[in-house]
């Protein structure tokens, strides 16, 4: 058993490949009809880099306290040179990052690119997607307007009730995490401070550690080619690297045009509304950002217990995909990926509207 464990580690961490020549000069990228999927991970990473740069530009002006947070956002938007552009870039690149991360995950699953020895690559990728959603959730509160507070309340209520259907000690985790995230029984200065710390310090450090492991694993094992009819190979450097940079440049230009012409708040009908926050019960009609509607929609139309238990089991199933799905055919993988994509589109595009109709 010990020898099997050692061999398994060697298969997943072939240390003999760790050198500059193998990582850059000799590395090759397979070319086939689905070669475009190799750019999705890089596009997700590029959006994260935009997040970091724009976040650092916003950081000196933002004030993480309930008295000045809203005014600091207004100041950034209307008085700091190019402040509204940087803020829109930050917001739009966040949405693009989540979109590309989801598509990247689905294509990796559909092509069975998670198979041995890439299990660690897959698992770190799944956790990175969860952290990316965490960026969206924690960042949404920072403008400290009425909508962001109410939407955060909804998220906290879901978290607090996530284990309330279980008896005894199993009830505690949801209440524990919700109370500690809020810093108390309601959304206050403590909540804003904790979300700010999570958004700009804790989550970025965890993300950087995991992305380092993820990229290292990709470099060790190369890009998956087992599921494709490879036509030829091209050098990673400079051929693929130059193409990757071209894709990044095009993506940046698209983001720049969108950020310059479409203010993120008005596009989603979520304008900044109030400087002072009312802690009354959450009004009807409050919805989270689009990338949480896949969970919000089922919670509105199905029993909460069923949705929460199902969501947890699905997450475990996704995380352990290399174990549970490895024997399924390629056709089954493609059908599951397509079904998931269709569900995400329906729950995102039409889910919110259907919930509003049901409530009325």
pTM greater than 0.85 (yes/no): yes
Rounded-to-integer distance, Cα 237 and Cα 22, Å: 11
| pLDDT higher than threshold 80 for residue 166 | no
Highest mean pLDDT: which range of 94-103, 311-320, 344-353:
94-103
Note whether residue 319 is domain-resident. Answer: no
Look at residues 12, 1, 77 and name the one whose alpha carbon lies nearest to residue 216. Answer: 12
Query: Mean of the per-residue pLDDT values for the chain?
Result: 83
Instruction: Tell me how many domains the chain contains.
Output: 1
Higher pLDDT, 185 or 104: 104
In eight-state DSSP terms, residue 228 is S
CA 205 vs. chain centroid, Å, equals 15
Highest mean pLDDT: which range of 160-174, 251-265, 292-306:
251-265
Note whether residue 341 is domain-resident. Answer: no
| pLDDT higher than threshold 60 for residue 88 | yes
CATH number at residue 277: 1.20.810.10
Note whether residue 354 is domain-resident. Answer: no
Range of the domain at 77: 25-286
Confidence bin at 159 (pLDDT 50/70/90): confident
Rounded-to-integer distance, Cα 140 and Cα 191, Å: 12
Note whether residue 133 is domain-resident. Answer: yes
Note whether residue 329 is domain-resident. Answer: no
Confidence bin at 267 (pLDDT 50/70/90): very low
Q: Are 138 and 131 in contact (CB under 8 A)?
A: no
Rounded-to-integer distance, Cα 147 and Cα 140, Å: 9
Note whether residue 269 is domain-resident. Answer: yes
Highest mean pLDDT: which range of 66-70, 234-238, 318-322:
318-322
Note whether residue 226 is domain-resident. Answer: yes
| pLDDT higher than threshold 80 for residue 67 | yes
Residue range 76-102: mean pLDDT, rounded:
94
Rounded-to-integer distance, Cα 10 and Cα 284, Å: 55
Task: State what percent of residues in the chain have pLDDT above 90.
Answer: 44
Confidence bin at 146 (pLDDT 50/70/90): confident
Secondary element (H or E) of residue 119: helix 119-141
Q: Which residues contact 176 (CB under 8 A, 6 or more apart)?
A: none
Note whether residue 122 is domain-resident. Answer: yes
| pLDDT higher than threshold 60 for residue 168 | no
């Amino acid at each position: 058993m010990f020898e099997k464990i050692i061999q398994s580690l060697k298969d997943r961490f072939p240390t003999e490949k760790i050198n500059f020549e193998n990582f850059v000069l000799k590395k090759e990228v397979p070319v086939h009809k689905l070669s475009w999927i190799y750019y999705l991970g890089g596009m997700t990473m590029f959006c994260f880099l935009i997040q970091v740069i724009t976040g650092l530009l916003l950081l000196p002006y933002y004030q993480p306290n309930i008295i000045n947070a809203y005014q600091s956002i207004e100041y950034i938007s209307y008085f700091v040179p190019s402040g509204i552009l940087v803020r829109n870039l930050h917001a739009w690149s966040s949405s693009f990052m989540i979109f590309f991360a989801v598509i990247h995950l689905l294509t990796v699953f559909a092509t069975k690119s998670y198979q041995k020895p890439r299990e660690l690559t897959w698992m770190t990728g799944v956790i990175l997607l969860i952290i990316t959603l965490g960026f969206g959730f924690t960042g949404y509160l920072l403008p400290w307007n009425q909508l962001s507070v109410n939407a955060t309340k909804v998220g906290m209520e879901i978290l607090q009730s996530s284990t309330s259907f279980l008896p005894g000690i199993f009830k505690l985790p949801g209440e524990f995490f919700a109370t500690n995230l809020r810093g108390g029984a309601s959304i206050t200065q403590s909540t804003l401070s904790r979300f700010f710390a999570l958004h700009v310090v804790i989550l970025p450090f965890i993300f950087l550690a995991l992305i380092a492991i993820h990229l290292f694993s990709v470099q060790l094992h190369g890009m998956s080619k087992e599921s494709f009819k490879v036509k030829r190979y091209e050098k990673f450097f400079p051929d693929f690297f130059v193409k990757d940079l071209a894709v990044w440049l095009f993506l940046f230009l698209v983001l720049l045009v969108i950020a310059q012409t479409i203010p993120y708040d008005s596009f989603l009908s979520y304008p900044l509304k109030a400087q002072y926050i009312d802690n009354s019960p959450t009004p009807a009609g409050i919805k989270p950002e689009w990338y949480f509607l896949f969970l919000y929609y089922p919670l509105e139309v199905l029993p909460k217990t069923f949705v929460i238990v199902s969501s947890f089991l699905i997450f475990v199933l996704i995380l352990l995909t290399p174990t549970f799905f490895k024997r399924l055919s390629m056709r089954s993988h493609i059908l599951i990926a397509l079904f998931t994509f269709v569900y995400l589109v329906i729950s995102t595009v039409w889910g919110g509207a259907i919930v509003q109709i049901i409530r009325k």
